[in-house]
Amino acid sequence: MFDKLEIFDKRYEELSKRLYEPDVVSNGDKYSEVMKELSSIEPIVKKYREYKDTKSSVDEALSILDDSDSDEEFKELARVQLDESKEKLPLLEEELKILLLPKDENDDRNVIVEIRGGTGGEESSLFAADLFRMYSMYAEQKGFKIEVLNVNETGLGGYKEISFTVNGQGAYSRFKFESGTHRVQRVPQTESGGRIHTSAATVAVLPEADDVEIDINPADLQIDTFRSSGAGGQHINKTSSAIRITHIPTGMVVECQDERSQYKNKDKALKVLKSRLLKIEQDKQNASIAENRKAQVGSGDRSEKIRTYNFPQSRITDHRIGLTVYKLDAVLNGDLDEIIDPLITALRAEQLKESMEN
């Protein structure tokens, strides 16, 4: 581990000097490339240097205690320094192990989130709207920006489906845990008898694809226009601005009707299509190592039930790690870190366990 850390430390020094070289300063792309690598290894190097400083404190304290010429007061200060540093060292080692774990290549990407009402009719559509509100408030807390790509509303204000982008550094690292089936238990607004019903909505989280990653042959696309439809909006049913793109080789269909402009809707639909195709390619790559990959919290499959929201008991249970919190209102108002932080901790624990076994 420490050999790797030394390599990172030297590389950090090299990159820090590179930033001031004329060929880098004068070239925006090169400068961005160096800055990106520098930022990616900076947390590791800073933690390693803190570890080395703490290790030096231990050595210094031991040297003072071994020196017969040191007075007793000075030795007492050294004992305190030794105890504090010895207590700190194992904690720093654990943090370094976590920082050295393989990073998900998608973590820094923007994401596309697709929510669909599932079992439960109108109630599932209303729950889908609750999930969108929850994610919108969470994104705002994190400084991310949300842009709606497509929405299919119901008459009661629910969503049969809604797709949107979440833009911001590290968006995927937080939202990736949301893929799967979300189940709700509550008395529906549409139920007059006061009985608790169970319904569900599904969530898919896609890392946004860069244009250079997915090259789509225009001949593989069937593009249709149609009139927008939905529960409201001045341009609804008046112009053929909505776009439906069918990717012929896969049969994948993407619709977008949120914008008045046909061009903008096409651009958004292509963005979703590229991200779906990227996800397929990444899933294929991961499939070959899936059996040996223990470090995983859930499969990310929308058919997997990941979480239950129980309104009568104000309870949320994440089934992947057996976590239960009684803060339903807070979580639905965007305090999702109550759930996501333990999921990240569980993932890291599994990764650490796997790295030790290997």
Q: Mark whether 72 and 121 lie in a shared domain.
A: no
Q: Give domain status of residue 254, yes or no.
A: yes
Q: Give domain status of residue 69, yes or no.
A: yes
Q: Mark whether 252 and 197 lie in a shared domain.
A: no
What pLDDT digit, counting tens, does each position of 272-307 carry?
888 888 878 777 766 644 443 444 454 444 567 999
Q: Mark whether 22 and 74 lie in a shared domain.
A: yes
Question: Which residues form the domain of 345?
Answer: 111-208+307-352
What pLDDT digit, counting tens, does each position of 322-349 carry?
999 999 999 999 999 999 999 988 887 7
Average pLDDT for the chain = 84
Q: Give domain status of residue 262, yes or no.
A: yes
* Dihedral, CA of residue 321, residue 325, residue 330 and residue 333, to nearest 10: 30
Looking at 68, 99, 130, the residue that finishes a domain is: 99
Of 95, 115, 114, 118, nearest in space to 48 by CA: 95
What pLDDT digit, counting tens, does each position of 148-161 carry?
988 888 888 899 99
Q: Mark whether 91 and 224 lie in a shared domain.
A: no
Q: Give domain status of residue 226, yes or no.
A: yes
pLDDT over 80 (residue 20):
yes
Residue 127: how many CA atoms within 13 Å on its side-chain side?
Answer: 29
Looking at 99, 119, 153, the residue that finishes a domain is: 99
Q: Mark whether 333 and 261 lie in a shared domain.
A: no
Q: Mark whether 225 and 171 lie in a shared domain.
A: no
Q: Give domain status of residue 302, yes or no.
A: no
Q: Mark whether 45 and 120 lie in a shared domain.
A: no
pLDDT over 80 (residue 170):
yes
What pLDDT digit, counting tens, does each position of 71-102 carry?
888 889 999 999 999 999 999 998 888 787 77
Q: Mark whether 55 and 88 lie in a shared domain.
A: yes
pLDDT over 80 (residue 210):
no
Would you state the pLDDT for residue 303?
60
Would you state the pLDDT for residue 356?
61
CATH code, domain carrying 273: 3.30.160.20
Looking at 35, 66, 99, the residue that finishes a domain is: 99
- What's the domain count of the chain? 3
- 237 confidence band (pLDDT: 50, 70, 90): very low
Of 230, 224, 264, nearest in space to 247 by CA: 224
Would you state the pLDDT for residue 287?
61
Q: Mark whether 199 and 315 lie in a shared domain.
A: yes
CATH code, domain carrying 84: 1.20.58
Task: Please give the residue that has the higher pLDDT: either 234 or 69.
Answer: 69
Q: Give domain status of residue 243, yes or no.
A: yes
Report the b/e string of 93-123 with b at 16+ CB within 10 A: eebbeebbeeeeebebbbbbbbbbbbebebb
pTM score, two decimals? Answer: 0.66
Amino acid at residue number 33: E
CATH code, domain carrying 313: 3.30.70.1660
Q: Give domain status of residue 291, yes or no.
A: no
Would you state the pLDDT for residue 1?
76
pLDDT over 70 (residue 236):
no
Q: Mark whether 140 and 204 lie in a shared domain.
A: yes
The highest-confidence range among 8-17, 72-81, 125-134, 339-348, by mean pLDDT, is: 125-134
Q: Mark whether 84 and 13 lie in a shared domain.
A: yes
The three-state secondary structure class of 203 is: strand
Would you state the pLDDT for residue 271?
83
For the CA atoms of the chain, what is the radius of gyration? 26
Report the b/e string of 238-257 with b at 16+ CB within 10 A: eeebbbbbbbeeeeeebbbb
Tokens of residue 341, six digits? 């932080």
Distance in angstroms (rounded) separating the CA atoms of residues 257 and 262? 8
Q: Give domain status of residue 293, yes or no.
A: no
Would you state the pLDDT for residue 4?
83
> What percent helix, strand, coil does the chain show, rounded to 5?
50, 20, 30
Q: Mark whether 76 and 188 lie in a shared domain.
A: no
